[in-house]
Amino acid sequence: MTRNRPSNPSWPARRRTDGPPLVVTADDALLAELLPLAAAADVTPEIAGDPLTALVTWSRASVVLVGADLAAAVAQVAPESRPHVFVLSRERAPDDLFRTTLHLGAEQVVELPGSAGWLVEQLADLTEQQPDRGRVIGVVGGSGGAGATTLACALGQWAARSGAAAVVDCDPQGPGLDRMLGLEGRDGFRWDTLSRTTGRLSARALREALPRRGSLGVLSWHVDARVPSLQAFAVREVLSAARRGHRVVVVDLPRSPDPLVDEVAARCDQLLVVTLASVTGVAGAARMRTRFAEHADPALVLRGEAFAPDEVARAVGLPVLVQMRDQRGLAEAVDLGLGPLRSLRGPLARAVAGILGEPAAGPGAAVAAARPAGEAVA
């Protein structure tokens, strides 16, 4: 069980605590019980066998776990006040341990093994928090053939140049993002595997389990999956873990109406509707805008030059983020297993760089940034 105490008003509002967990104990039996819990949370703690050693990493640890055997001694050295300090007891805690906990400035007394599951959750949550959470971008086609899947893959490829990125395939009837990126032969988890699992999914476990090339991981479907459908619990866990473990997460959404897909779109920081510059394309985008009217930040990616961006924006009721002309060789690049972003130059590269807010520059040479909507095409 866990027992709370009032929060400490002296804690600073902001503090960088992104180091590994710190365990302060000289009790080997407590360590033997605690270390498997840390392993279950995908963390490797630092261990201090005395209070003075603990002071070295006290402030920067993501969480501090103080054994009941050393709680009084740690309190005597008066370490700096900080959040996420817990006192661990292998048996029912005596009253004097709660008094020591208050003196130490810890949040709770955690009694093991009864609170083992709770402690695993805390370790995983606190150690996976990052100063900036990952950006999740949803991509959906305004009409069939608009190129939403191509754009999703290209966004993932570009984002992976500067950090961990993932593309998540939420369209079981699509071509498969792993095939689009040439990763269908790589080992790793697909949706059918994750849909059979239960419990919390850690960011590290997901990142390491996905088929990947370099910094880009992809979650898609097995070709012969018997039940190609999304499971709500799996989708929620995946998006949460992917956001914690990647700088950018791109979600390829199906056009078919579905409450779960609408929920996924609502969880995205930005929603892109890929629209063909044609009468049918604009009409389809207008229908899609109605479907996602409540989304916080929807925008259009306009493919083609038959209509001006301001005309499309007025017709659909959404701003045009970028406009791009068609690019030759996309199908060839995908067939070669290179993914759609074969080159860091060209309309597609400029478009994804503009969406991500990064300069479109190839190796050793600068290229034009993505063209804002309304500017002339070079």
- Predicted pLDDT of residue 43: 83
Residue with tokens 């045009």: 320
For 175-283, list the strands marked E by DSSP: 212-213, 216-219, 248-252, 270-276
Separation of alpha carbons 247 and 239, rounded Å? 13
Res. 361: pLDDT tops 80: no
Among residues 78, 84, 76, the alpha carbon closest in space to that of 60 is found at 84
Identify which has the larger pLDDT, 4 or 60: 60
Q: Which residues pair with 24 in a beta bridge?
A: 48, 66
User: Is residue 271 within 8 Å of 299, Cβ to Cβ?
Assistant: yes
N-term to C-term CA, the chain:
66
**Residue 126 in tokens:** 């606190």
User: Is residue 214 within 8 Å of 162, Cβ to Cβ?
Assistant: no
The 10s digit of each residue's pLDDT in 146-176 is 899 999 999 999 999 989 999 999 988 888 8
User: Is residue 51 within 8 Å of 31, Cβ to Cβ?
Assistant: no
- Name the band, by pLDDT with cuts 50, 70 and 90, for residue 366: very low
Separation of alpha carbons 101 and 74, rounded Å? 10
3-state secondary structure of 19: strand
Task: Please indicate whether the domains covering 2-128 and 135-366 agree at the CATH topology level.
Answer: yes
Q: What is the DSSP letter of 184?
A: T
The 10s digit of each residue's pLDDT in 216-248 is 999 998 766 555 678 888 888 899 889 888 999
How far are the Cα atoms of 35, 141, 347, 355 from residue 284, in angstroms, in the given order? 55, 9, 23, 22
Fold held by 2-128: Rossmann fold (3.40.50)
For the chain, list the strands marked E by DSSP: 2-4, 22-24, 46-48, 64-67, 85-89, 108-111, 135-141, 165-169, 212-213, 216-219, 248-252, 270-276, 298-303, 320-324, 361-362, 365-366
User: Is residue 62 within 8 Å of 127, Cβ to Cβ?
Assistant: yes
Superfamily of domain 135-366: P-loop containing nucleotide triphosphate hydrolases (3.40.50.300)
317-345 burial code (b ≥16 CB/10 A, e <16): ebebbbbbbebeebeebbeeeebbbbebe
Q: pTM of whole model > 0.75? A: no
Identify which has the larger pLDDT, 295 or 322: 322
Q: What share of the chain is helix, strand, coil (3-state, %, to 5)?
A: 35, 20, 45
64-97 burial code (b ≥16 CB/10 A, e <16): bbbbbbbbbbbbeeebeebbbbbbbbbeebeeeb
Separation of alpha carbons 135 and 196, rounded Å? 27
Domain ranges in the chain? 2-128, 135-366
Q: Which residues pair with 138 in a beta bridge?
A: 251, 271
What is the Cα gyration radius of the chain?
A: 25
Tally the C-alpha atoms within 13 A of residue 286's C-alpha that lie toward its C-beta.
Answer: 14
- Predicted pLDDT of residue 9: 39
User: Is residue 15 within 8 Å of 52, Cβ to Cβ?
Assistant: no
3-state secondary structure of 231: coil
- Name the band, by pLDDT with cuts 50, 70 and 90, for residue 110: very high
What number is the average pLDDT over the span 266-287?
A: 92
If you average pLDDT over every residue of the chain, what do you get? 83
